[in-house]
């Protein structure tokens, strides 16, 4: 113990009665019940303990103190006359003989009550994060994070992986998001980039002869925030295996993750190995998303053949998807609210109808469905009490809307979702290429370093025109849990010839590959092992385990939605001298 502390504020029990103890912590509350009598609560990292002021001398020390001052209390433990069953230390109290002020709080008013900080405005919580973290409920998420990271490290070490740190200052690399750039003082006009991921470095470690690598890796991406993504920086369990393929990666993750989720999660049930494997295309067709929540038993059905010729304009000529949920007990108002929420999230309006006791369609778009009652009933397997949600539009838009609709209906109607469990699945067989929305040309779908399924022969077929490039699959996979994408991974393209051919299909030649990825290209030319890896997001993992909806709740010092650290006032201006040192001249709004 330090500062002469003999016990923590969460430690003392009835068996300690009569002992002389010293506690340290924050003055959480003082309740005066007389001129020289007060009940006070002292809080530290471990808990709270009540101490009782019973004389003028001690009151003279306590009375001027603002809440949240730090103090040392020395006194005698005694059994409380009125016990508090809601406090672990509620059977005892301390009668002080000495109180020492260690750090005085100089503000009479706090920005928010510490124990009610979760009710405060988020911007206020972020500005005074050091006060917010004093709330035991907030602090518990950070403790959970520490325990999970420790468990991940131990599990990976037990699997034979070495923890190796990779550089933070590196070269800019096309990883799919914007880089954070760092000017190089000694190299005018040139910049380092903070790594979006240690992708190239971990692959280079495999070429260097290391067999199994991992790290809790910081990653930096200049992208917008959302509920499950923090702007600026995040952490991932980055891992790579040499002489390995997809099944090897899956086996490691299926051994490492379920015990950690079962031990530390809000729910103690987690999928056992092997996790369900779903192809990307099947996921989109069956669940309307490549991040399916398998706790929900609803699926997406295709109703295009029956409804694309409908007189209902939103269906006419469009792809139409349907989601059927039995036992619907929602009111018309609740259904309309649910549909509005779907539209906000998906960007497209859903439609609905119900099946009454006579098997007829009622509500929503029922009148447009009536002529097809028998066909729809048979095709969709309808029964009385069912609600049918519809999504229409281009195929991708209809799928996306139906996927959101599935989630909303599954959560809103009893019996369709088992929320108290962690359901993992692998999404496999991703397309290697896609047509870019802006360019209108062939582009990589995800990771350009992934091995195309079938290797060089598949690429040569596409080059000859014998295969549509959009039909090429990549040996790439996502790990999904409860509708949250935890990770992407892939079997890597370790062969320079295959790598060059893959890039040629997107109009980049060998010289482009050498220029963009010089280290990897050259390293692979010296004989590279087949290798594969994955990188589950630590922040998202802890968010799921804690049962939080916002990732900011499990990060010690998060940025706000605008990528600002309002506590540290970052980003912030720098001096003209600092700019000159790194050879930068600002031109804001056209002014030098």
Q: Indicate if 397 and 431 belong to the same structural domain.
A: no
Are residues 380 and 477 located together in one domain of the fold? no
* Residues 399 and 300 placed together within one structural domain of the fold: yes
**Residues ≥6 apart with Cβ < 8 Å to 467:** 458, 461
Confidence category of residue 439, pLDDT binned at 50, 70, 90: confident
Residue 326 in any domain: the answer is: yes
Q: Which of the listed residues 354, 386, 412 is the one where a domain comes to its end?
A: 412
At 31-76, the pLDDT tens digits run 999 889 999 999 999 999 999 999 999 999 999 999 999 999 999 9
Task: Please write the tens of the pLDDT for every residue from 265-293.
Answer: 999 899 999 999 999 999 999 999 999 99
Tens digits of residue pLDDT in 77-89? 999 999 999 999 9
The CATH number of the domain holding residue 385 is 3.30.1360.30
Residue 215 lies in a domain: no
In this predicted structure, what is the pLDDT of residue 398? 97
* b/e per residue 223-255 (b: at least 16 CB within 10 A): bebeebebbbbbbbbbbbbbebebebbbebbbe
Domain end point (choices 483, 500, 530): 530
Residue 80's domain is classified under what CATH number? 2.40.50.140
Q: Which residue is associated with the tokens 């599935």?
A: 406
Q: Note whether residue 228 is domain-resident.
A: no
How far apart are the C-alpha atoms of 403 and 76, rounded to whole Å?
62
Q: Does residue 311 sit in the same domain as residue 379?
A: yes
Least confident segment among 200-209, 219-228, 328-337, 372-381: 219-228
Residue 544, both tokens: 């799921």
Of residues 436 and 246, more confidently modeled: 246
pLDDT of residue 217: 97
How confident is the model over 383-407, as a mean pLDDT?
A: 96
154 located within any domain: no
Band of the pLDDT at 101, cuts 50, 70, 90? very high
**Residue 3 pLDDT:** 57
Q: How confident is the model at residue 196 (pLDDT cuts 50, 70, 90)?
A: very high
Position 438 scores a pLDDT of: 83
Rounded Cα–Cα distance for residues 269 and 423 (Å) = 9
Looking at the structure, tell me whether residues 432 and 521 fall in a common domain.
yes
pLDDT higher than threshold 50 for residue 125? yes
- Residue 532 phi/psi, 5-degree rounding, is -150, 155
Domain extent at residue 307: 296-412
Sign of the Cα torsion 161, 165, 170, 174 reads: positive
Measured between alpha carbons, how far apart are the two ends of the chain, in Å?
Answer: 57
d(CA 352, CA 362): 9
pLDDT band at 1; cut points 50, 70, 90: very low
Is 383 in the same domain as 452? no
pTM for the structure as a whole = 0.91
Q: What are the phi and psi torsion angles at 155 (to 5°)? A: -65, -40
The verdict on 341 and 386 lying in the same domain is yes
Q: Which tokens hold the place of 439? A: 């360019």
pLDDT in tens, 318-376: 999 999 999 999 999 999 999 999 999 999 999 999 999 999 999 999 999 999 999 99
Among 42, 73, 103, the domain boundary falls at 103
6 domain-assigned: no
Question: Is 436 within the bounds of a domain?
Answer: yes
In a domain, 121, yes or no: no
Tell me how far CA of residue 31 lies from CA of 50, 67, 71, 115, in angstroms. Answer: 11, 11, 17, 16
Question: Quick one: 355 exposed, middle or buried, by C-beta within 10 A (0-12, 13-18, 19+)?
Answer: buried
- pLDDT score of 524: 95
Mean pLDDT of 7-29: 97
* Domain membership flag for residue 256: no
* Overall domain count for the chain: 3
User: Which burial class, exposed, middle or buried, applies to 4 when counting CB atoms under 10 A from its CB (0-12, 13-18, 19+)?
Assistant: exposed
pLDDT over 70 at 429, yes or no: yes
Assess whether 322 and 384 both reside in one domain.
yes
User: Which pLDDT band holds residue 592 (cuts at 50, 70, 90)?
Assistant: very low
Query: Which residues 6+ apart lie within 8 Å of 481 measured at CB?
Result: 261, 422, 423, 424, 425, 544
């Amino acid at each position: 113990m330090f500062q002469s502390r003999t016990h923590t504020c969460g430690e003392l029990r009835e068996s300690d009665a009569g002992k002389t103890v010293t506690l340290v912590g924050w003055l959480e509350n003082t309740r005066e019940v007389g001129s020289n009598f007060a009940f006070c609560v002292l809080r530290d990292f471990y808990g709270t303990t009540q101490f009782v002021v019973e004389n003028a001398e001690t009151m003279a020390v306590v009375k001027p103190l603002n809440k949240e001052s730090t103090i040392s209390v020395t006194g005698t433990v005694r059994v409380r006359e009125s016990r508090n069953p809601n406090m672990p230390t509620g059977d005892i109290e301390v009668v002080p003989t000495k109180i020492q002020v260690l750090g005085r709080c100089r503000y009479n008013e706090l920005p928010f009550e510490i124990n009610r900080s979760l009710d405060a405005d988020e911007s206020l919580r972020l500005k005074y994060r050091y006060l917010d973290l004093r709330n035991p409920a907030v602090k518990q998420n950070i403790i959970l994070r520490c325990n999970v990271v420790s468990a991940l490290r131990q599990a990976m070490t037990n699997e034979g992986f070495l923890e190796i740190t990779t550089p933070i200052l590196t070269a800019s690399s096309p990883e799919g998001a914007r880089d954070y750039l760092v000017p190089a003082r000694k190299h005018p006009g040139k910049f380092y980039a903070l790594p979006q991921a240690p992708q190239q470095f971990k692959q280079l470690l495999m070429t260097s002869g290391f067999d199994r690598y991992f790290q809790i890796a910081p990653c930096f991406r200049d992208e917008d925030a959302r509920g499950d993504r923090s702007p600026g920086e995040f952490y991932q369990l980055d891992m790579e295996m040499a002489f390995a393929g997809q099944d090897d990666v899956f086996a490691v993750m299926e051994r490492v993750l379920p015990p950690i989720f079962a031990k530390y999660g809000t729910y103690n049930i987690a999928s056992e190995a092997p996790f369900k494997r779903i192809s990307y295309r099947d996921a989109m067709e069956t669940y309307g998303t490549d991040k399916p929540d398998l706790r929900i038993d609803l699926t997406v059905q295709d109703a295009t053949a029956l409804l694309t010729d409908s007189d209902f304009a939103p269906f006419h000529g469009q792809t139409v998807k349907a989601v059927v949920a039995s036992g619907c007990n929602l009111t018309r108002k609740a259904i309309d609210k649910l549909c509005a929420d779907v539209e906000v999230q998906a960007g497209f309006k859903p439609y609905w109808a119900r099946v009454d006791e006579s098997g007829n369609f009622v509500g929503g778009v029922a009148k447009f469905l009536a002529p097809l009652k028998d066909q729809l009933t048979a095709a969709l397997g309808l029964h009385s009490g069912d609600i049918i949600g519809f999504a229409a539009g281009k195929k991708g838009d209809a799928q996306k809307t139906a996927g959101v609709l599935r989630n909303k209906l599954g959560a809103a109607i009893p019996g369709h979702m088992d929320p108290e469990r962690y359901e993992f699945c692998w999404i496999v067989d991703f397309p290697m290429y896609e047509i870019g929305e802006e360019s209108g040309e062939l582009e990589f779908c995800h990771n350009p370093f992934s091995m195309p399924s079938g290797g060089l022969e598949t690429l040569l077929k596409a080059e000859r025109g014998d295969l549509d490039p959009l039909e090429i699959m990549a040996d790439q996979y996502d790990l999904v849990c409860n509708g949250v994408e935890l990770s992407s991974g892939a079997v890597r393209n370790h062969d320079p010839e295959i790598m060059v051919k893959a890039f040629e299909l997107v109009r980049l030649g060998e010289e482009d590959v050498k220029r963009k990825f010089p280290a990897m290209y050259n390293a692979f030319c010296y004989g590279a092992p087949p290798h594969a890896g994955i990188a589950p997001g630590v922040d998202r993992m802890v968010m799921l385990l804690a049962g939080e909806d916002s990732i900011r709740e499990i990060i010690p010092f998060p940025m706000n939605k605008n990528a600002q650290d309002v506590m540290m006032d970052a980003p912030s201006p720098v001096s003209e001298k600092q700019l000159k040192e790194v050879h930068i001249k600002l031109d804001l709004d056209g002014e030098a």
